[in-house]
Amino acid sequence: MQKLFLLSLLIFLVWACDNSSHAYKTHKHLVTDTAMVVSAHPYASKIGVKIMKQGGNAVDALVATNFALAVVYPRAGNLGGGGFMIIRTPEGEATTLDFRETAPAKAHKNLYLDKQGQVVKGLSRNGGLAVGVPGTVAGLYTAWQKYGRIKDWAVLLKPAIDLAEQGFPVSEAEAHRLNKYKNDFLKWNPDNKTFIKDRWLAGDYLVQPNLAKTLKIIAQKGPKGFYEGPVAQAIVKKVVKSGGIINMDDLKQYQTKFRKPIEVSYKNYKVISMPPPSSGGIALGQLLKIVARYPLKKWGFHSYKTSHLMVEAEKRVYADRAKYLGDSDFYPVPVDTLLSEAYLIKRMSDFSMKKATPSTDIFPGQFQFHKESFETTHISIVDSDRMAVSCTTTLNSNYGSKVIVDGYGFFLNNEMDDFSAKPGVPNQFGLIGAEANAIAPHKRMLSSMTPTIVTKDHEVFMVLGTPGGSTIITSVFQSILNVIDFDMNMYDAVQAKRFHHQFLPDYIMFEKNTFSHKVADQLKQAGHQLKQIKYIGIVKAILVKDGQLEGAGDTRNKDDDVEGY
């Protein structure tokens, strides 16, 4: 027995040393010809590739990669969140899967207002009342059931279970965030010490036995192991204890939905993206259709004319987002009108190449901007048959509501903040909303997530997406233009400096060195206000060209990784 123990210990130490020494040798750029995964963490990307080498397709790889991210990327990878997925089969069929969180049955329009009708600060962002009914587990299972090739569901969870049980060395970025949110973890989870240390350092091992237990239940029972039984009971108990209103029926009745994609043509390309309750597909489609009428390539990358046009288009599109977009199962979103040429021409009728249009002249409103963050995560995958998957999932804020399910080791989202708590009052990303995105029982909150697949000549051309809250749409928009209009390869297109306008607040957010001094001065002279921020988007993308796959992870995130074969 002692010899067996020592042998097991030796094997584990060899495994640990091997993984520690190779933990964060990430690939930001890779060219290969068979299959590829781009995700927010090297362990997760490697697992996705391994599944494809074992005979799995892009959807199988997506499932395994997502569950791995729930372990190694806890600030955004998740069981307790939700997301959106675009799937394009080798035969060219494209569909979208909506596994967005939903409002509990007891939710109502004035959930976050005090007796005076004012929004109670922080109520929709922290604690149990911020939690929407999770969709991730159901979404991954639904995708696998319809499109997966691996017959045994448990095979796809095994790598994540091993990582949770055996532990892994945290990255510098994850250590920083674990330290930053220590007090929040203690406030909402005083008895849970998994994520608590005096100080986390890069390379420290994070072992999650409770999460491993949950993953084993899901591996054995599928979604029923999460939405019914002991795990569901624990979710409800912790949410209610933390001030929330989710009940067992909310979990049991959760459903995913396949939806018709938003598809628009841009030059010789077709762009396939998400419909409501994501705002991404409509907003991206509007932006591309607006700029298609102008000679961007002739004007040049980040020239005054190009930048000014893009900003003015973004102002109008984000104003439309605030007024018209929400869950189409609850509100008649005018999709066809918003994407019609006649409407967009009219929308830009007051556009002047010489002068900025104040946002108050486009749509009046009060605003306050909150610091942007990147707690969503995205995965792009192309397999050997050229099945493509673009999938974005989220907890919303870093570690979501900061609430951990006792005994089961996973964070719950704070997606209720993505509803309009009150018309005209911004959420944490500075986005305002109206009646279309008001809170209602079982309704899905509006999102900016924009998983996207671009095709050319009926073949996959590009797969991309990004975290970044309100900047997701414009980051995807610019990455597409960088390749199609400005002839960049995928790596350069992803690393290129970005800028963003979201209607309110009325200024251009930009990364350092985005604009030349001359262009910055021209924008200011035209009436634009400029504000420098650290990062805009963390794009993960694959370009399929000349029989090869070119993958790009974003250098804005040290842990982004491309793997392939």
pLDDT digits over 194-240, tens only?
A: 999 999 999 999 999 999 999 999 999 999 999 999 999 999 999 99
Considering the domain architecture, whether residues 52 and 139 belong to the same structural domain is answered as yes
- Cβ-based neighbour number of residue 400 at 10 Å: 29
- C-alpha 58/C-alpha 179 separation (Å) is 35
pLDDT at 33 > cutoff 50: yes
The pLDDT of residue 516 is 98
The pLDDT of residue 20 is 42
The pLDDT of residue 422 is 79
Exposure b/e, 85-119, CB count within 10 A at least 16 = b: bbbbbeeeebbbbbbbbbbbeebeeebbbeeeeeb
Considering the domain architecture, whether residues 401 and 476 belong to the same structural domain is answered as no
The pLDDT of residue 120 is 93
Considering the domain architecture, whether residues 394 and 457 belong to the same structural domain is answered as no
Residues 6+ apart with CB under 8 A from 434: 322, 323, 324, 420, 423, 424
Instruction: Find out whether 239 and 128 touch, Cβ atoms under 8 Å.
Output: yes
Instruction: Find out whether 215 and 161 touch, Cβ atoms under 8 Å.
Output: yes
How does pLDDT run across 395-413, given as a tens digit for each residue? Answer: 999 999 999 999 999 999 9
Query: Which of 521, 501, 539 is CA-nearest to residue 310?
Result: 501
Sign of the CA dihedral 347, 538, 281, 138? negative
431: pLDDT confidence band, cut at 50, 70 and 90? low
- Cβ-based neighbour number of residue 62 at 10 Å: 31
Report the CATH number that the domain containing residue 525 is assigned in CATH.
3.60.20.40
- Maximum pairwise Cα distance, the chain: 81
| Residue predicted with more confidence, 119 or 288 | 288
Considering the domain architecture, whether residues 412 and 471 belong to the same structural domain is answered as no
pLDDT, mean of residues 71-84: 97
491 lies in some domain: yes
Residues 6+ apart with CB under 8 A from 393: 66, 69, 76, 77, 78, 81, 82, 83, 136, 139, 376, 377, 378
| Residue predicted with more confidence, 103 or 323 | 103
The pLDDT of residue 435 is 82
pLDDT, mean of residues 27-48: 98
CA atoms within 13 A on the CB side of 133: 29
- C-alpha 337/C-alpha 327 separation (Å) is 17
| Residue predicted with more confidence, 303 or 15 | 303
pLDDT at 429 > cutoff 90: no
13 lies in some domain: no
Q: How many domains does the chain have?
A: 2
What percent helix, strand, coil does the chain show, rounded to 5? 40, 20, 45
Considering the domain architecture, whether residues 212 and 76 belong to the same structural domain is answered as yes
State yes or no: is 376 an active-site residue.
Answer: yes
Q: Among residues of the chain, what percentage have pLDDT more than 90?
A: 89
Q: Name the residue range of residue 521's domain.
A: 259-372+449-564
| Residue predicted with more confidence, 370 or 280 | 280
Tokens encoding 61: 């790889």
- Cβ-based neighbour number of residue 28 at 10 Å: 18
Considering the domain architecture, whether residues 350 and 393 belong to the same structural domain is answered as no
Considering the domain architecture, whether residues 176 and 66 belong to the same structural domain is answered as yes
- C-alpha 46/C-alpha 65 separation (Å) is 8
Considering the domain architecture, whether residues 247 and 226 belong to the same structural domain is answered as yes
Exactly one of 376, 377, 450, 474 is catalytic; name it. 376
How does pLDDT run across 127-164, given as a tens digit for each residue? Answer: 999 999 999 999 999 999 999 999 999 999 999 999 99
3-state secondary structure of 37: strand
- C-alpha 507/C-alpha 64 separation (Å) is 40
CA atoms within 13 A on the CB side of 41: 29
How far, in Å, are 76, 185, 198, 253, 557 from residue 174 at the CA level? 11, 14, 15, 34, 11
24 lies in some domain: no
> Looking at 364, 389, 424, which one is the last position of a domain?
424
Considering the domain architecture, whether residues 101 and 133 belong to the same structural domain is answered as yes
- Cβ-based neighbour number of residue 519 at 10 Å: 18
429 lies in some domain: no
Question: Residue 21: exposed, middle, or buried by beta-carbon count in 10 A (0-12, 13-18, 19+)?
Answer: exposed
Residues 6+ apart with CB under 8 A from 91: none
The pLDDT of residue 375 is 73
pLDDT at 99 > cutoff 90: yes
Considering the domain architecture, whether residues 366 and 404 belong to the same structural domain is answered as no
Which residue type sits at 177?
R
Q: What is the CA radius of gyration of the chain?
A: 23
The pLDDT of residue 366 is 36
pLDDT, mean of residues 81-109: 98
Mean pLDDT in the chain?
A: 93
Strand ranges (E), 11-160: 29-32, 36-39, 82-88, 94-99
2 lies in some domain: no
pLDDT at 517 > cutoff 50: yes
How does pLDDT run across 434-452, given as a tens digit for each residue? Answer: 788 999 999 999 999 999 9
421: pLDDT confidence band, cut at 50, 70 and 90? confident
Considering the domain architecture, whether residues 458 and 414 belong to the same structural domain is answered as no
118 lies in some domain: yes
22 lies in some domain: no
φ and ψ at 192, to 5 degrees? -100, 115
Considering the domain architecture, whether residues 393 and 532 belong to the same structural domain is answered as no
Query: Which of 69, 66, 70 is CA-nearest to residue 409?
Result: 70
- C-alpha 375/C-alpha 538 separation (Å) is 10
Q: List the strands of the sheet with 452-456, edge to edge.
A: 29-32, 548-552, 540-545, 459-465, 452-456, 269-273, 262-266
Q: What angle do CA 110, 467, 506 make, to 5 degrees?
A: 65
What residues pair up with 259 in beta bridges, in sequence order?
96
3-state secondary structure of 460: strand
Instruction: Find out whether 85 and 380 touch, Cβ atoms under 8 Å.
Output: no
- C-alpha 316/C-alpha 322 separation (Å) is 10
Q: Please spell the DSSP secondary structure of 164-192, one letter per residue.
A: HHH-EEPPHHHHHHHHHTHHHHHHH-TT-
pLDDT, mean of residues 273-301: 98
Query: Which of 15, 12, 161, 16 is CA-nearest to residue 4?
Result: 12
What's the pTM value of the predicted model, to 2 decimals?
0.94
Tokens encoding 104: 């509990």
The pLDDT of residue 196 is 96
How far, in Å, are 71, 214, 417 from residue 17 at the CA level? 19, 26, 41
| Residue predicted with more confidence, 559 or 1 | 559
φ and ψ at 458, to 5 degrees? 65, 20
pLDDT, mean of residues 532-561: 97
The pLDDT of residue 223 is 98
- C-alpha 401/C-alpha 70 separation (Å) is 15
157 lies in some domain: yes
pLDDT at 290 > cutoff 80: yes
